Every structure is written in C-alpha cells, then in structure tokens.
C-alpha cells in the first residue's frame, strides 16, 4: 500500500481538507464479519472507501473501535490514521468528533464518508 500513498501525494494538491471515514459502528447487517472488511470484488469495503476519498483530501482518518484497529491497519497500511474512540460511544457524532480532534493542522474543511447503509453527514 505504500505505492498508493506515494501516488496519492504526487497527484493531490494542497486542498486544506481532511477526510474521515466513520467505521467504528457495529455492523448489524453483517453478523459474521466487520462491514468495513467485507469483500467487494475481492477487496475490503474499507479499501474501496479510502481509495475513493484519498485523492481529494490531504489527510485521511478512519475511526474504529479498539478491537477493529489491527484488522483495519492491515487494510489501510500507512495510507491513513486510525482513531479509536471510547468503547461506550460509537454514535456517528462521537466518531466525527474523534476524527475532527485527530485532524492535523486545524483543517477548516472536512469531508466525511460513512460505509453504505448509514446516513451520511458532511461538514464544511
């Protein structure tokens, strides 16, 4: 995945934006696998999400639970930062807050993506 990081930095202008993928929630519709790790055409959904968002942001953050961290790290490698939030609160607002707090450089614009099936919210 380090090649994609190099390609991303070579093709992206300084946008002043951070991208946050909200992935810490429980996957009720996927009882046997984390939704973010479910394969689509042989690639985890999380990898599709990061590949889609990475070209339009300077920084990419994925929110996760502590028990998801290792598996998510295998998918995203060094291409983005994983941010865990307190285990008791996995609501989208808490995930967004964790992503905002983790953003470097006081980003003034934030692009937010959620896995399919959750209501999307964007803050600019």
9-29: string of b/e by CB count within 10 Å (b at 16+)? Answer: eeeeeeeebbbbbbbbbebee
- For residue 45, the enclosing domain spans 2-113
In a domain? residue 120: no
The answer to whether residue 46 sits within a structural domain is yes
Query: Any idea what the CATH number is for the domain that residue 24 is in?
Result: 3.90.550.10
**Phi and psi for 69 in degrees, rounded to 5?**
-55, -50
CB 89 within 8 A of CB 78: no
The DSSP element (H or E) to which 84 belongs, if any, is: strand 81-84
Q: From CA 119, how far away is CA 13, in angstroms rounded?
A: 29
Whether residue 88 lies inside any domain: the answer is yes
- State how many domains the chain has: 1
pLDDT digits (tens, 9 = 90+) for 71-112: 999 999 887 899 986 556 567 778 888 888 888 766 555 555
Q: Is residue 121 part of a domain?
A: no
Is the model's pTM score more than 0.85? no
């Amino acid at each position: 995945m380090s090649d994609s990081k190099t390609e991303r930095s070579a093709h992206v202008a300084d946008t002043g934006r951070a991208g946050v993928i909200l992935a810490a929630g429980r996957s009720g519709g996927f009882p046997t696998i984390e939704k973010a790790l479910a394969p689509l055409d042989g690639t985890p959904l999380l990898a599709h999400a990061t590949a889609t968002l990475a070209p339009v942001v300077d920084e990419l953050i994925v929110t996760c639970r502590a028990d998801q961290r290792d598996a998510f790290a295998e998918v995203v490698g060094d291409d983005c930062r994983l941010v865990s939030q307190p285990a008791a609160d996995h609501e989208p607002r808490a995930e967004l807050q964790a992503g905002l707090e983790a953003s470097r450089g006081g980003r003034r614009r934030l692009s937010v993506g959620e896995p399919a099936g959750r209501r999307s919210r964007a803050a600019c």
